[in-house]
Amino acid sequence: MPSSAEYTRYSHSHELERYWGKKGVVYSISTVHHPSAGSEYPVKAPAGFEALAPYDIALIEFPDGSRRTFMAMSSENLQTGDEVECVVGANPPTSDGAIIPYKIKVRRPISC
């Protein structure tokens, strides 16, 4: 669980309440590359997000049939069909200097 200070950063967003801790399955996944990557990489980071590349964007299907895209945690190496959970993850600043400190990301569930 994030600290109360971290939770407060989400106080203006319903994304945390709606998805945090929710589990689903990777329906589709794409790797977003730096714009300077060669033409063999069809998906490139949009302006302002180059510093984050490469990163994975996963389309998650939830048990109710709904689907939503999320950034994957960087070390996950997810594949279609993997079970995932929504967690709070940190992002580095984007290349335009904007800071996106925390957002919902997906990772494999941690078993206890």
Measured CA distances, 40 to 34, 49, 72 (Å): 12, 19, 22
Stronger pLDDT, 1 or 63, i.e. the higher one: 63
Nearest by Cα to 75 from 48, 101, 106, 50: 106
DSSP classification of residue 33: B
Report how far residue 47's alpha carbon sits from residue 50's, in angstroms, rounded to the nearest whole number. Answer: 6
pLDDT band at 5 (very low <50, low <70, confident <90, very high): very low
**Using CA atoms, how far apart are residues 5 and 10, in angstroms rounded to an integer?**
9
pLDDT in tens, 27-76: 999 988 887 766 676 778 887 777 778 889 999 999 999 999 988 887 77
What pTM, to 2 d.p., does this model score?
0.70
**Domain positions in the chain:** 4-107
Chain-centroid distance, C-alpha 39: 24
